[in-house]
Structure 1
Amino acid sequence: MDNKCWICGKQEPMMFTCRHCGKTFCSDHRLPERHACEGLERGAGYSSGTSGTSGNYNRTYTGGQSYGPEVDEAIKNMMKDAAKTAAKGAATGAVYRTRSSISTSPSMAIIFICIISFFLELIPGYVELFQLVPSMIFARPWTMITHMFLHGGFGHIFFNMLVLFFFGRELERRIGKDMFLYVYFISGIVAALGYALTSNTGLPMIGASGAIMGVFATLTVLAPEMQVYVYFIPMRIKYALLLFALLDFALIGANDMVAHTAHLSGVLVGLYMGFRIKSSGKQRRRTGYDTRRW
């Protein structure tokens, strides 16, 4: 076999065979454009031999691969397209899962509405239209429901929705979606009435705390031994409810901008509904799901 360069006749330890024309070249003439490759004119395709070059793809044997500028640009474009496709797929999947959870879980639907409403509160007059004012509760009866979707700040909505996310979905699984909605809204409405009848300040009320306390109390009756974490302290849910109720009772009349009577009203409704559901045997049999955080 002739190991001389077909162009200059030079011999080197490693010679290159062009995969287009099949001739042997030194390192100076190995590129097709350096030896006027006849194979390119005949439209020869790419090859993956043990040595040589193919089009703009150059394979070297010094520990890696090198590519021509056109191939590099094509690879970059492919990587960008792949990244865009992956991002689009992840976003689409997240949207689908969110829509699915909202359509199948009343708790998730309520959380979604509360979040949307939280941003709508930036509109002037929005809160004033839907907040509950004790002296106007019967003149504006819709506020007995709409006040549950308003919140007074990020911390307020975050902790309320966090509790609803854990305990609301658990109650759904135990009593069903329809009964859950019944417990939630009856607790919220009675909490509004309780606050309106006992308030001596006349301050407006917003927030889902009364309804959520009703959910929490109902779940306590149905699963009193469930373990929860209150500020990272483990305890039975029945003791957690007792702790919250005692705190609300002790702080009635305190100037802390918290509607404690609404919380207690929600608890009373939740306890009543829990015992009613338990006595009727409508609670679903559950296993697991016995550790929740609040």
Structure 2
Amino acid sequence: MAKCDVCGTSVDLPYNCRRCGGSYCSEHRLPENHNCTGLNEWNDPDGVFDSGFDDSVDNRGGRSSDLRDRLSPNTGPGGVLGYFRGNVSYLFLAIILVVFVLEHVVAILFGGEAFRTLFVLTSANPEYVWTWVTSVFSHQPFTFVHIFGNGIVLFFFGPVVERQIGSKRFALLFVLTGMLAGLGQIGLGFLLGEPVSGVLGASGAILAIMGILTVLNPGMKVYLYFVLPVPIWLLTFGYAGISVFGVLAADQNVLGNVAHGAHLIGLLLGLAYGQRVKEKVRSPSDIQFGRGGGGMGGPGRGRF
């Protein structure tokens, strides 16, 4: 027979709290009724534990007066941000589509200068720091080739990487590699003597995703057009070869106005990160990938 840690009542079948490890009677078994030290770990912004009817309850639930608790995002299983856990790839895809629509609205209503100011990272105005991020989610307007190629790779490959490294790390990886790829392309333009260069597109982040998967499982089969099995290493380094050739032939512009340097930078970052997490995660042996390659290349100034 055990005693309740709160009231001392002898109990034949005590309730053992898995959070704090204490033993309690039926009256004090709920976490809020015995001032459970584990309440802070529950992230209960909706006040599930604190009913509000008992003023003696320690007010550490969703009605906490603590400003930090009130302002912290609700990432619990039932929280708003909880819906994005495991779905950041699809969230980013949705953002890309929304931005694509906004690009056309701005370009049509306010002109090309406004479009470049908001969405294009340029060597003329690298101090426009918002374009470091907006350019990652922007794509060449008035054509669907660019956004389709990047979108379909993100749709198929993004969730695979996200499941391996977690949603928070994936989100950070996508934005940072996209930003660094764009800034690297601008720097490469200075080295090549380009008077003004501009970039937009998610291909730097997309190549980082492919680089990670290439390290984790180079033999992973990618079913191009849902039919032709190709190892991902061949697909990844095929893009890399095209980008290397594009950088070397930049003066001749034989491959169109594509930011090949951003492709290579994104790929190298992805390969490096994949090597870092290689021993900690596992990757599937195959994945279907339809109509993939065309969207990363093609005409269009500063696309990547």
- For Structure 1 versus Structure 2, the TM-score category normalised by the shorter chain is 0.5 to 0.7
* TM-superposed deviation, 1:164: 0.3
After superposing the two structures, state which structure 1 stretch, 210-219 or 192-201, moved more: 192-201
Query: Aligned ranges for residues 234-253 of structure 1 at < 5 Å?
Result: 234-252=229-247, 253=250
Alpha carbons 2:154, 2:206 under 8 Å: kept:
yes
C-alpha RMSD over aligned residues: 2.1
Distance, in Å, in 2 between the alignment partners of 1:227 and 1:100 is 32
Alpha carbons 1:167, 1:292 under 8 Å: kept:
no
Distance, in Å, in 1 between the alignment partners of 2:128 and 2:102 is 20
Q: Deviations over 1:80-113 (max 9, x none)?
A: xxxxxxxxxxxxxxxxxxx997564111011111
Partner of 1:32: none
Equivalent residue in structure 2 for 1:106, among 88, 109, 122 = 88
Alpha carbons 1:148, 1:188 under 8 Å: kept:
yes
Over 3 Å counting, the alpha-carbon distance change for 1:203 and 1:235 in structure 2 is: same
Distance, in Å, in 1 between the alignment partners of 2:223 and 2:260 is 22
Partner of 1:229: 223
Equivalent residue in structure 2 for 1:155, among 127, 145, 151 = 145
Distance, in Å, in 2 between the alignment partners of 1:160 and 1:286 is 21
Partner of 2:166: 176
Alpha carbons 2:118, 2:130 under 8 Å: kept:
no
Please give the TM-score of this superposition, normalised by the length of structure 2: 0.58
Look up the SS of the partner of 2:199 in the other structure.
coil
Alpha carbons 2:96, 2:138 under 8 Å: kept:
yes
Does 2:210 align with 1:216?
yes
Distance, in Å, in 2 between the alignment partners of 1:155 and 1:100 is 33
* TM-superposed deviation, 1:136: 2.0
Does 2:263 align with 1:263?
yes
Does 2:273 align with 1:291?
no
Q: Which amino acid aligns with 2:287?
A: T
Look up the SS of the partner of 1:143 in the other structure.
helix
Query: Aligned ranges for residues 273-288 of structure 1 at < 5 Å?
Result: 273-278=273-278, 281-283=279-281, 285=282
Alpha carbons 2:217, 2:283 under 8 Å: kept:
no
Q: What are structure 1's unaligned runs of at least 5 residues?
A: 1-98
Please give the TM-score of this superposition, normalised by the length of structure 1: 0.60
Distance, in Å, in 2 between the alignment partners of 1:272 and 1:104 is 23
* TM-superposed deviation, 1:287: 5.1
Over 3 Å counting, the alpha-carbon distance change for 1:178 and 1:282 in structure 2 is: farther
* TM-superposed deviation, 1:182: 2.5
Distance, in Å, in 1 between the alignment partners of 2:168 and 2:214 is 19
Over 3 Å counting, the alpha-carbon distance change for 1:239 and 1:211 in structure 2 is: same
Q: Which amino acid aligns with 1:196?
A: I
Distance, in Å, in 1 between the alignment partners of 2:176 and 2:138 is 17
| Matched residues, number | 191
Alpha carbons 2:210, 2:236 under 8 Å: kept:
yes
Over 3 Å counting, the alpha-carbon distance change for 1:119 and 1:238 in structure 2 is: same
Alpha carbons 1:103, 1:109 under 8 Å: kept:
no
Partner of 1:197: 187
Look up the SS of the partner of 2:230 in the other structure.
strand
Q: Deviations over 1:136-186 (max 9, x none)?
A: 22x112212110111112111111110100000111112211221222122
Look up the SS of the partner of 1:136 in the other structure.
coil
Alpha carbons 2:218, 2:232 under 8 Å: kept:
yes
Return the structure number with greater relative CO, CA threshold 8 A, min gap 6. 2
Over 3 Å counting, the alpha-carbon distance change for 1:155 and 1:148 in structure 2 is: same
Look up the SS of the partner of 1:229 in the other structure.
strand
Alpha carbons 1:190, 1:269 under 8 Å: kept:
no
* TM-superposed deviation, 1:233: 3.8
Alpha carbons 1:220, 1:237 under 8 Å: kept:
yes
Q: Which amino acid aligns with 1:150?
A: S
Alpha carbons 1:251, 1:260 under 8 Å: kept:
yes
Q: What are structure 2's unaligned runs of at least 5 residues?
A: 1-80, 293-304
Please tell me whether Structure 1 or Structure 2 has the larger radius of gyration of its CA atoms. Answer: 1
